[in-house]
């Protein structure tokens, strides 16, 4: 498993697909990086030698915002939205969908599991209610 910018990329996969395990590198960027370095897109990540891995790390760190820097930037943007109390910031704070999705149904990823509201009682409460009902009929 080669290590690029502190991330272990899968060695058995083609280099184009293995690079996608780095945060901030998607299909287009992975293809672009492979072309710029002149690597064979069909080679596996395990087949890269030390200097190719070093060139890959250097290019990704100098040319693109990836991994820790990108995560910090995204979190900073979200914190800024929350601080200025804009609509998107309020949605982030409440844990609701931000991009206009419906919330009456769906949105379970943001809202979490359903919380049942209403008359769900435990065994003791049910038996007490039955006893009260039996006493009232006598």
- The CATH architecture assigned to 70-111 reads Irregular (4.10)
- At 137, is the pLDDT very low, low, confident or very high (cuts 50, 70, 90)? confident
Quote the distance between the C-alpha of residue 114 and its chain's center.
21
Cα–Cα distance, 2 to 121 (Å, whole number) = 55
For residue 3, give both structure tokens.
């290590």
Q: Would you state the pLDDT for residue 136?
A: 78
* Tokens 């901030």 -> residue: 24
Span 7-65, pLDDT tens digits: 999 989 999 999 999 999 999 999 999 999 999 989 999 999 889 999 999 999 999 99
**3-68: CATH architecture:** Orthogonal Bundle (1.10)
At 138 the pLDDT is 67
Q: Structural domain boundaries of the chain?
A: 3-68, 70-111
């Amino acid at each position: 498993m080669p290590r690029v910018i502190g991330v272990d990329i899968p060695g058995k996969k083609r280099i184009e697909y293995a690079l996608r395990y780095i945060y901030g590198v998607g299909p287009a960027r992975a293809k672009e990086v492979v072309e710029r370095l002149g690597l064979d897109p069909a080679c596996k990540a395990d087949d890269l030698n030390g200097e190719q891995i070093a060139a890959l790390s250097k290019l990704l760190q100098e040319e693109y915002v990836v991994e820790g820097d990108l995560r910090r930037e995204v979190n900073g943007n979200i914190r800024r939205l929350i601080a200025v109390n804009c609509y998107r910031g309020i949605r982030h704070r409440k844990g609701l969908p931000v991009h206009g999705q419906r919330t009456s149904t769906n949105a379970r990823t943001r809202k979490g599991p359903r919380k049942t509201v209403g008359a769900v009682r435990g065994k003791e409460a049910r038996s007490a209610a039955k006893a009260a009902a039996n006493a009232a009929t006598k």
